[in-house]
Structure 1
Amino acid sequence: MKISEVSKHFNVSIQTLRYYERIGVIPNIPRDTNGFRDYRKSDLYWIHYVQALRRSGVSIHSIQTYVGLVRQGATTRDERKAILLEQRRKLLEQRALIDDALIHMDQKLSVYDEYVVALEENTRPSDQ
């Protein structure tokens, strides 16, 4: 698969794909006979995984560390797991903050809804 197709498939710029390769968060992409990058299925997996890590807030530096550990093999599993556990902890912390904000927002919205109902009841003509 060519870089333009990969870019569209993952909704990521060509420059970002080149950057990921240059800094080592995805493997070096093999080239075809014309010198163009030719992404394999395994390369696409790495791009998908890097994007998932980025969406979860993992820094590029931590991804570089993580990928370096993956390349070192099975002996680094505990270190890799520690990186993921730390990010999970951070995500849970963020979720707690978001959940708290949503509770307050829902309470405020409820107050506005009650205000509108009360206003409508006070402006309706009485049936007397």
Structure 2
Amino acid sequence: MTFGMSFPTKFVSNMKRAGADAESNSTYIIPMNQTIIMTEIMTHGPVVATYKIYEDFSYYKGGIYVHTAGEEKGAHAVRVIGWGEEKSIPYWLVANSWNTDWGEKGYFRILRGRNHCDIENQMIAGMVKV
């Protein structure tokens, strides 16, 4: 499996913090709090997240991903579309872009509430004027 490369990037936007007066067609950073993140997904739909990719992620086939081995290989952006628990283990449900033959038909679950692989570090949402 090939992973994307990381490049230094300067991000310029009308980014705001969640809870601020959101303008139409604006994006905002969601605080690193699973309750706030879940409320955002439930209220406005999927959010965008970046997370660190490690070697063992390339072998993911299903279940709740928990990094156990291998060095960091880069970062990846995904859509967090929901959450759940399996055997009392909380997880985020995530849509990946690596095709439907990867993971759980193109999706994966990752440990929730512990900022695992930095996935909760900077989730971003948006409001679009329609």
| Pair in the same fold by TM > 0.5 | no
- Greater helix share, 1 or 2? 1
Q: Which has the higher contact order (CA 8 A, sep 6+)?
A: 2
- Greater strand share, 1 or 2? 2
Q: TM-score, normalised by structure 2?
A: 0.19
